[in-house]
Each structure stands twice: as C-alpha cells, then as structure tokens.
Amino acid sequence: MSRALPFDPAALPIGRDPLSVRRRVEAMEHLLEGLFVVPGLNRRIGLDVILDALPVAGDTIGALLGLYMVWEARNLHMSKFQIARMVGNVGFDWLLGLIPFLGAVPDFFFRSNSRNLKIILRHLDRHFPAVATIRG
C-alpha cells in the first residue's frame, strides 16, 4: 500500500532560502525512507531499501542520493562537526548495505537520511526559527 506524496514534486522550491532547503530535504528524506508501508510490520521503507536489490550499485546510488542532503546542509553553512556526522551516517549506511544478502536488513533499521534530516531541522529551527513547523 502506498500513500500520496506529501508534496508535489513539480512544486518543490528551487531557492537557496532556508524554507526552500527545508522543503527539499524533507522531500528527499521522504523519497529515501518513507515511500511505502510494509504490510504487517507497519514500517515505512523508501528508495534506500529498495535500491538494496542491486548489489553494490544500489547502495552506492542510495549513498549519493543521501549525500545530496549533506550538500544542502553545507549550503546552509552548518558546522564542520555536523557535516562530518552526516557524512558518517551516510558512510555507515553505505557500508552496512554492502553486506551480501543481508544488506537490506540493517538499512531497514539504520535510517541515515532520517538521522540527517533531524540534524538539519535542528539547525534550521535554531538559526532560522521563522521556517520552523509544528508537527502534530
């Protein structure tokens, strides 16, 4: 069972302002971590887990897509420590995904893109409170 995207891909903002960046990284995280719900487990999966079907190449593509969020964070002038932590999350996820036949299992539980989104949102909420959103 799939759900409708919480955004219109054609309407994603292209600006460099914090609100535009916020919307883009939230959309990327949704694409990589939350496209579908696994029936019975009630757990969301996204492109990151699906790409694990392609040995090595799928994990590398997933890591490159995850690095897009790091690139957006760099454009927000986040600290080197935050950027390094985000790169570490993507790298660890990539290494876990390289495990033959079992690589999708850790990918299912270690969600580097969700972790990186939290880091970015924390930065945005602290430094750009006008773009903060209230989640219910």
> What is the mean pLDDT of the segment spanning 36-55?
88
Q: Assess whether pLDDT exceeds 80 at residue 47.
A: yes
pTM recorded for the entire structure: 0.87
DSSP calls for 4-57: --SS-GGG-----SHHHHHHHHHHHHHHHH-SEEETTTTEEE-HHHHGGGSTTH
> What is the mean pLDDT of the segment spanning 95-114?
84
Q: Assess whether pLDDT exceeds 60 at residue 1.
A: no
Average pLDDT, the chain: 87
DSSP state of 2: B
Rounded Cα distance, 79 and 94, in Å: 23
> What is the mean pLDDT of the segment spanning 110-136?
88
Closest C-alpha to 111, from 71, 58, 39, 62: 62
Q: Extract the tokens encoding 129.
A: 């409170």
Q: Assess whether pLDDT exceeds 50 at residue 2.
A: no
Q: Which residue has the higher pLDDT, 82 or 136?
A: 82
